[in-house]
Amino acid sequence: DSFGGQQELYAVIRGRVRFTCNGEEVELGPGELLFLEPDVQRAGTALEPNTLLLMVGGVAGKPFEPDWD
């Protein structure tokens, strides 16, 4: 699975971000969201200084199991 098999939700809190998703570019600003399935190849770049982005990810149908001590 790509990206650990995770679905991921990105939320822009401040600034602007450009994502490249399977070769297509998407730009997001404050308050905008992007949801990606695990098979989507992705990369993100901040377009403004002090950009703040929140990412939440998980595997569908599986409970969260931390791998830290």
What's the pTM value of the predicted model, to 2 decimals?
Answer: 0.84
Helix (H, G, I), strand (E, B) or coil at 2: helix
Strands (E), the chain: 7-14, 17-21, 24-28, 33-36, 42-46, 52-58
Q: Which pLDDT does position 38 carry in this prediction?
A: 93
pLDDT, tens digit (0-9, with 9 covering 90-100), for 13-35? 999 999 999 999 999 999 999 99
Structure tokens that stand for 6 in this block: 């995770």
The sign of the CA dihedral 28, 31, 35, 36 is positive
Q: Which pLDDT does position 28 carry in this prediction?
A: 98
- 63: DSSP letter: -
